[in-house]
A and B are shown apart, each in its own frame.
Chain A
Amino acid sequence: MSTQMKSPVLDASLPEEEPLGARRGERLTALAQQHGALVALLLTVLIASVSFEAFPTSDNLGNMAVGSTFLAIVALGMTFVIVTGGIDLSVGSTFALGGVLAAWGSQYGTLVALLLPLAVCGLIGLVNGLLIAKSRLAPFIVTLAAMLLARGILLAVTDEGSTTYLVEERSFLATLGEESLLGVSLLVWITAVLFVLGALALRRSRFGQYVYAVGGNEDAASLMGAPVARTKIAVYTLSGLCAGLAGALNAAYLMSGVTILGVGMELDAIAAVVIGGTLLTGGFGFISGTLAGVLLLQVIKNIINQIGSLDSSYQQVVSGAFLAVVVVAQTWLGRKRRML
């Protein structure tokens, strides 16, 4: 290295040295990751609309929209958890618990019907968060235990699953499930509002930045002053709240707290989030992608129903395969990027 100096301030635009191709490739992979689910969704909808007469009807579309709201809200909370590099396997059980508590609570008024599931499910999420952030236990095992715990509480509340509480006919909760605004179900409106809020929280708030930082590099985040433990506790609590709310809305929709719901829902939620482009290793993800992922799963389910001859279980096969393909692609792309 020569010892003589050039100008004291160098105008070395360092990244410009990279080959242009590498940079374009980088952009393309980022785009594919961010909007891949959306493109897949649009293509699937297009093909389905051409293939099945019954698909593009307003009835069918409306039903699909309402049908996907519950998974969407659960997946919304899950997105935050996964972006921090964690996982929440308890949401299926908390979803069911939320529904039962809402139905049971509706006899004491709307406030109880809404607040009780939120309080209990939020508390379960909080305990998850505390065990993961403070005691540093592995998220998957803590939330597996919580899944069992929530199911256990549900059984205890419903006389071991033998009692199904009905939502009070004239309660506000029932209205939520039935009424619509401008031809669109209230449930869809609520979900839309939640997603806008969620997107703002993740992309435009300081909390969101911490969520990304914790998932991207926990040590660096803590050195940069991010409140790592608090952020983790917050996302698990949020996930519990989302699952509880989704359960309550589901009870409003079904007019009862069905006890056997939510089994395997955590997997659908994780699949939707990952298909939506969120990295399971954390640090990268989009609320919009999650929505696209949920809708894509819903459309696939609908198509399988349309075909009629196919068993509905194909949906699981397809979403499992989708999950595997997306994860392999992510791992592969991630490795390629590191080599650049």
Chain B
Amino acid sequence: MTQLALRGVPLDRARVLRLLQDYGVYAGVLALLLANVLLTPHFVSAENFRTQAVQVAPVIIVALGMALAIGSEGVDLSVGSVMALSTSLISLYLGYGPVAAILVAVLGGMLVGLANGSLIAFIGVQPIVATLALMVACRGLANVFLPQLKDVRDPTMASLGSGSVLGIPYLVLIAVALALLVAFTVKRTTFGRQLLAIGDSRPAAQLAGLPVRRVLVVVYVVSGALAAIAGVLATARLTASDPTSLGTLMELSAITAVVVGGTPLSGGRVRIGGTVAGAVLIQLLTATLIKHDLPPSWTQIAQAVVIVAAVYAARERGRR
């Protein structure tokens, strides 16, 4: 059936553009990989891939929640601060054992998400503004809880941060598992379908009797929880809690991954595979520039250009 429909449509400019939006990110990842294999010395090594994967894992986890928020026609700017909050909570509660500390950290993230979601769903504050307020407050809270950098000396945390199974770091495994879980949620659950419908057409979703407010609250709670998990993992990897700098600009990286991955800012669509690929693309881009001795300043400038280009390309689809 689908093939039939495909054959009927001419391969015009709009279609090419659409293919580019949908699969451009994968092509980009492939192209970068290929270029690096050919041009970068010592690129093809297990160690290098492991380093890259470990670095990108927290970004992927945060971006998953961001993808849900953007799919509901919102955004969550508080994710970076939630990571910071989570790292201070870990340090604070590590005395009660690592499991308790992790649970408290994730719970904290969910509470922030609950606050975000309630402001947005029940009071009707714009997502940007609501999550901005929480972003400022959370960063402050994180610093209040833990005024300065503190080492995290705990065997469980340490193994979580640097351990691996069959050569694959735990961090990467967790990120992959979460990505699969979120993808499954979007594709196969009632919640996922309702989320997409709400993001695509709020009035239609309302008239169809969907629980719009509940879905929105859950979206931000999930986003908060994922950011907190990313905070836990980052803490484990660094074996230190640094609430001042952990997660700064993370919202930007997450939004970039989501947008580059082909999820439109106008909502109604969530591409988990694209989001993961988007995060990987940015990571590879950074790594490539660094490996070729281009300074970090160039990476930042390049990332800025990539964001604007991705949003600009997605703009066309907005005009259905």
Contact = CB atoms under 8 A, between A and B. Distances in A.
B20 interface: no
Interface stretch (B29-37, B95-103, B163-171, B293-301): B293-301
B162 interface: no
Contact of A156 (B135, B297, B304): B297
Interface residues of A, number: 47
A180 B265 CA distance: 49
Interface in A281-340: 281, 311, 313-321, 323-324, 327-328, 331-332, 335
B140 A314 contact: yes
A311 B308 contact: no
Binding site secondary structure of chain B: helix
A280 interface: yes
B141 interface: yes
Interface string A130-141: 010001111011
B173 interface: no
B271 interface: no
B259 A141 contact: yes
Interface stretch (A23-31, A35-43, A144-152, A208-216): A144-152
Contacts of B308: 131, 137, 141-142, 145
Given A141-B307, A327-B129, A331-B125, A135 B315 contact: yes
Most chain A CB inside 10 Å of its own CB: which residue of B128, B138, B265, B305 = B128
Most chain A CB inside 10 Å of its own CB: which residue of B140, B299, B305 = B140
Nearest to B128: A140
B130 A316 contact: no
* Size category, B interface: 35 or more
A101 interface: no
A149 B301 contact: yes
B311 A155 contact: no
A328 B300 contact: no
Given A320-B133, A328-B119, A311 B303 contact: no
B289 to A, nearest CB: 11
Nearest to A320: B137
B297 A153 contact: yes
Contacts of A263: 248
Contacts of A144: 252, 255, 307
B215 to A, nearest CB: 20
B143 interface: yes
A289 to B, nearest CB: 17
Interface string B308-320: 1001100100000
B225 to A, nearest CB: 20
Nearest to A317: B140
Given A148-B300, A152-B304, A313-B143, A320 B248 contact: no
A282 to B, nearest CB: 11
Interface of B: 75, 119, 123-126, 128-130, 132-144, 147, 248-249, 252, 255, 259, 265, 295-301, 303-305, 307-308, 311-312, 315
